[in-house]
């Protein structure tokens, strides 16, 4: 039975807060991940909800800040957000000037946000947060974030293999990992044994993995973002063509001229069965699906039941459409040879000189005289959004 009620005309005042408001009138959004590889990290998941990220980067200060800051320009004020530190005044001024319908977010510090008893919308379950404070049941949430849960949805996905029945080449994927870490292409049995032994040695016997068909001749990967409510209602808010580096998303493009076509191709095939599955499990909140397109078919390869890296730009792109900006480019984490303040000032200067486009600095984190930043460019063509990013990178 199809439990999902669709609502695809998303309000022009769309924010993260008003997506959650009907289902969670009170609570906070906690936009950080726990870590299971660095016991000095404040949000350390050691026992129950282990997260097998391979890179120590996940616990570095700049990464945590960048990751949390980029939702600020689309958070709204219906639900406070919990940040490791406050955004700069120049960032707030930048968002107010260049983000249509910008609403100042209500921000709590981590100390305040974790100290009281309010419900928390989390990206991942936390060992240190009581079960009753998680907006969705953490046991269930941990399960549906696993790669192995994809096969339970009924949506088309690459074939899964058992250890004694593998067709090579295949993929090994850690069941609980992030950001493209823990994905391996395996060409033969010898390589399979090598990778599986490495996983067990490094992460322990409880670090389960899935073995799946390796889809070749990939034409593109689409990231589909939507909200599934407690009632089962779906609010589809965007589809992005992903830019990849190995198996990690580093950004992507949105072309609203293709949106209706993509929706027709993907909605019933992927969004509806996944939403039905999540609704039956008791999940509500943001969902991001990664869908591979190839000559052999379309396949669901990742199901992220949480705010995704592409969520802010998908939401922001709705508002930019009102200005006639049908195209966008998102760069998730670029390094710039200037400070955060200089980068924002440069983006402001470009915007002031350009009437048919704009750049939004979603988040920045300084590293000496350089900075890392999440950046979105909006215009009426792919060529123009690429040009804007080039202008921003050029250090005069």
User: Which of 213, 228, 250 is the C-terminal boundary of a domain?
Assistant: 213
pLDDT for the residue 6: 43
pLDDT, tens digit, for every residue of 273-317? Answer: 999 999 999 999 999 999 999 999 999 999 999 999 999 999 999
Strand partners, 29: 81, 121
**Using CA atoms, how far apart are residues 94 and 2, in angstroms rounded to an integer?**
43
Looking at the fold, whether 137 and 23 belong to one and the same domain comes out as yes
Looking at the fold, whether 99 and 171 belong to one and the same domain comes out as no
Give the domain extent around 123: 15-144
Asked if the structure places residue 2 within a domain, the reply is no
**Using CA atoms, how far apart are residues 391 and 396, in angstroms rounded to an integer?**
10
**Using CA atoms, how far apart are residues 200 and 161, in angstroms rounded to an integer?**
18
Asked if the structure places residue 31 within a domain, the reply is yes
**Using CA atoms, how far apart are residues 189 and 168, in angstroms rounded to an integer?**
8
pLDDT, tens digit, for every residue of 315-365? Answer: 999 999 989 999 999 999 999 999 999 999 999 999 999 999 999 999 999
**Using CA atoms, how far apart are residues 68 and 32, in angstroms rounded to an integer?**
6
Looking at the fold, whether 37 and 138 belong to one and the same domain comes out as yes
pTM: 0.93
Looking at the fold, whether 112 and 35 belong to one and the same domain comes out as yes
Mean pLDDT of the chain: 90
Asked if the structure places residue 6 within a domain, the reply is no
């Amino acid at each position: 039975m199809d439990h999902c009620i669709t609502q695809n005309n998303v309000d022009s005042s769309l924010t993260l807060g008003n997506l959650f408001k009907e289902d969670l009138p009170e609570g906070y959004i906690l936009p950080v991940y726990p870590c299971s590889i660095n016991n000095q990290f404040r949000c350390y998941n050691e026992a129950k909800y282990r997260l097998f990220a391979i890179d120590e980067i996940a616990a570095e200060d700049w990464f945590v800040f960048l990751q949390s800051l980029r939702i600020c320009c689309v958070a709204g004020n219906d639900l406070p957000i919990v940040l490791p530190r406050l955004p700069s005044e120049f960032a707030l001024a930048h968002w107010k000037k260049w983000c249509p319908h910008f609403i100042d977010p209500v921000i709590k510090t981590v100390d305040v946000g974790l100290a009281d008893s309010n419900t928390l919308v989390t990206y991942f379950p936390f060992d240190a947060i009581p079960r009753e404070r998680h907006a969705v049941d953490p046991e269930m949430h941990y399960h549906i974030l696993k790669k192995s849960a994809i096969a339970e949805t009924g949506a088309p996905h690459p074939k899964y293999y058992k250890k004694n029945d593998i067709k090579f080449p295949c993929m090994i994927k850690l069941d609980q990992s992030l950001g493209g870490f823990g994905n391996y292409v395996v060409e033969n049995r010898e390589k399979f044994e090598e990778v599986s032994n490495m996983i067990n040695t490094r992460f322990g016997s409880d670090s389960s993995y899935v073995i799946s068909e390796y889809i070749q001749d990939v034409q593109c990967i689409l990231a589909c973002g939507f909200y599934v409510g407690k009632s089962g209602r779906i609010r589809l808010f965007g589809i992005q063509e992903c830019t990849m580096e190995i198996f990690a998303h580093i950004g992507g493009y949105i072309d609203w001229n293709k949106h209706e076509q993509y929706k027709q191709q993907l909605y019933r095939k992927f969004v509806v069965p996944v939403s039905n599955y999540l609704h039956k499990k008791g999940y509500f909140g943001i969902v991001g699906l990664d869908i591979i397109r190839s000559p052999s078919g379309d396949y669901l390869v990742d199901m992220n039941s949480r705010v995704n890296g592409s969520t802010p730009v998908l939401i922001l792109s709705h508002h930019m459409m009102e200005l006639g900006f049908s195209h966008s480019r998102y760069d998730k984490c670029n390094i710039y040879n200037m400070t955060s303040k200089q980068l924002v000032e440069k983006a402001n200067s470009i915007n002031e000189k350009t009437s048919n486009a704009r750049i939004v600095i979603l988040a920045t984190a300084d590293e000496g005289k350089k900075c890392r930043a999440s950046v979105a460019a909006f215009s009426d063509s792919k060529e123009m959004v690429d040009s804007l990013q080039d202008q921003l990178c050029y250090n005069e």
